[in-house]
Amino acid sequence: MIDPGQVLSGESGIVTGPRRRAVAFARDLADSAAAWLMLAPPRLAAAARRAPPRTVHVVGVYGPDGARAMAGSVAELRRSRHTVTFALGALGPRSPALGAETLLDGLAGQGKFENLNALLAAAPPPDPDWVIALDDDAQLPGRFLGAFLVCAERFGLQLAQPAQRHASHAAWRVVRRERWCLARRTRLVEIGPVTAFHRSVAGELLPFPPVRMGWGLDAWWGGLALERGWRLGVVDATPVRHHARPTASGYDREAAVAELARFLENRPHIDRGTALQVVERYHRLDV
C-alpha cells in the first residue's frame, strides 16, 4: 500500500505573511542580480536567436479569474521566433481575449488532466518538437520561450519546467530558482504550472493517464525516468511566478491524495528523498 506521506513534499510551499513575502521578494531580486552578473540574460538571448526554430504546442485550461494571466502568457509565447500553436479550454465562458486559442468551454466540473486530455483529443498536436502544459496562474518572464528551449535542449532535458521564484507557491523546494545556475538536472518535474514534454518522451506520456487532478504524476514520471534513462530538469534561467492562488485551493485535497495513492499503487515512482535530489548543475551554456 502506498504511503502518500513518503511521496508528497511534506511542505505547503505557500508564501504568506508580510515578513515571509518580503524575504522571498528580496531573494528573487538577488537572484536576478546574480543572473545579470553572469551575463545570463544577454547570452541566452543571443543563443536563442541562433537556435533553430521549433514547433511548440501549448495546452491549458483557464478559469474566469485566470483568463487575464493566460492571455498574458499567450502573448509572451507568441513573441518568440518559434512556431507556437494553442489548444486552450475555458472552465466557464470563453474569454474574448482568448477566442482564437480556446477550443472548448464550459469545462467546470472536470479535473485538470481530464480537461487537458480533452484538448489533446480535440486538437491532436502534429508531432511538435515540444508540448507545453500551461496553468492559468503562471506569469512568464520576458523572452521566456527562446531562452527556456535553449537551456532545455543544450542540457539534454526531455521533461522540463522553469524554476519557480521564491515568492511563488511551490510545494517542492527543489524546483525553486537556484542562484548562479542556468539549469539543473533533477529527479522531479512538477505537474504545473508549466511543464514541457520533448517529442522523445511526449508519445509515452501524452495523453495523460485517467486522473483528475494529477497528484502523483510527477512521482511516476520520475520513476519512469530512472527506469528509462530520461533526463529531467529545472531551468533556473527562466523563472516563473506562481502566486495567483494556493495549490489545491479549488479542489478537495483529501480526494487528490487518495487519487495519488491509487494511481501509484502498481506504478514505478520516486519517493520524497529522491525527488529532492539534484543530479547536476549547469552554470554555462558551453558544457
Residues 6+ apart with CB under 8 A from 188: 172, 174, 175, 218, 219, 222, 232, 270, 274, 275, 276
**Percent of residues, the chain, with pLDDT higher than 90:** 87
Minimum mean pLDDT range among 92-96, 250-254, 257-261: 250-254
- The residue behind cell 487575464 is 68
120 has a pLDDT exceeding 80:
yes
Exposed, middle or buried, 127 (CB in 10 Å: 0-12/13-18/19+)? exposed
**Percent of residues, the chain, with pLDDT higher than 70:** 97
244 has a pLDDT exceeding 80:
no
22 has a pLDDT exceeding 50:
yes
Looking at residue 11, the DSSP 8-state letter turns out to be -
pLDDT of residue 248: 46
Q: What is the distance in angstroms between the CA of the first residue and the CA of the last residue of the chain? A: 42
Distance, in Å, from the CA atom of 91 to the CA atom of 107, rounded to the nearest integer, reads: 4
Strands (E), 112-242: 130-134, 159-164, 183-186, 194-198, 232-240
pLDDT of residue 243: 73
222 has a pLDDT exceeding 60:
yes
Q: What would the pLDDT profile of 63-93 be if each residue is shown by its tens digit?
A: 999 999 999 999 999 999 999 999 999 999 9
pLDDT of residue 251: 61
Q: What would the pLDDT profile of 128-144 be if each residue is shown by its tens digit?
A: 999 999 999 999 999 99
pLDDT band at 205 (very low <50, low <70, confident <90, very high): very high
Its pTM stands at 0.96
Which among 278, 279, 31, 26 is positioned nearest to 174, based on CA atoms? 278
Element (H, E) at 260: helix 253-264
For the domain made up of 4-282, give the CATH fold.
Spore Coat Polysaccharide Biosynthesis Protein SpsA; Chain A (3.90.550)
Phi, psi dihedrals of residue 70, rounded to the nearest 5°: -65, -40
The residue type of 88 is: L
pLDDT of residue 13: 84
User: What does DSSP say about strands 83-90 and 55-62: parallel, antiparallel, or unpaired?
Assistant: parallel
Q: What would the pLDDT profile of 151-183 be if each residue is shown by its tens digit?
A: 999 999 999 999 999 999 888 999 999 999 999
pLDDT of residue 250: 56
Looking at residue 139, the DSSP 8-state letter turns out to be B
Which among 3, 1, 4 is positioned nearest to 215, based on CA atoms? 4
265 has a pLDDT exceeding 90:
yes
Instruction: Give SS3 for 4.
Output: helix
Once rounded to an integer, what is the mean pLDDT over residues 39-53?
A: 97
Distance, in Å, from the CA atom of 259 to the CA atom of 172, rounded to the nearest integer, reads: 19
The residue type of 17 is: G
Looking at residue 156, the DSSP 8-state letter turns out to be T
